[in-house]
Amino acid sequence: MLNEDPSVGENTNLRSALAIPLEGFSGVAGVLCLYARERNAFTEDHLRVLSAAATKVAVAVENALKYRQAERSAVTDMLTELPNARSLFLHLDSELARAQRTNQTIAVLVCDLDGFKQINDRFGHLEGNRVLRAVARALRVQCREYDTVARLGGDEFVLVLPGQEPDSVSTKVEQLTSAVVEAGYETVRAACLGISVGVAYYPTDGKDAEALLAVADQRMYREKQRGVAANGSDASSVVA
């Protein structure tokens, strides 16, 4: 685009534009634009110089986009778009350091879905992935802005809730359980999904990420087993 008027529909004193598409190895990565206040400010020479530079600029932009994507992938679970396990440990270490300075409690919740295998077996793995995404959204909605919801792997999620005491956590777990049940039903139109939750508290149950997650995971597993024994199937419950 050579000497087009860029002022259409805008309150601007720019009167000329020179634009070149940035074509990288994977397609168009963007557009390189120059503007001027004078009409017909750009010449064919300007176009040739900009065209010569565009290839190198396109490669630089494409590489920057790939680096940003790789950086995001390193800390993000791509299926649910929640923080992944690596990001969880980094964040939890940071929260623990802050809690130590401020003498604040932290509740760490390990959550495992009940009935998820049956969903995969009955509806297929694509529907199972949709359920995981729906659960991730449901958990996130139930939390405060400064809480953390991460996917540890498979159908296991971890929540980090700063400043939460047992009474408030019990209420929160009830809300999370209802949200997960609803997310499962809305996705596959069957009441077959639940959740088991184990809770550990800093500093009572541990003072580092590994210890807290281990305690919460053990409590979650024991509660899941009690639910199976009592009901003959997965049950939704919490233990702390």
Would you name the residues annotated as active-site residues?
A: 155
Rounded CA-CA distance 123/54 in Å is: 49
Q: Is 108 exposed, middle or buried (0-12, 13-18, 19+ CB in 10 A)?
A: buried
Q: Among 29, 34, 33, which Cα is nearest to 64's?
A: 29
For β-strands 194-202 and 27-36, DSSP reports them as: unpaired
In angstroms, the Cα distances linking 161 to 6, 14, 48, 65, 128 are 50, 51, 57, 33, 27
- Distance, in Å, from the CA atom of 194 to the CA atom of 188, rounded to the nearest integer, reads 13
Strands 148-153 and 16-24: unpaired
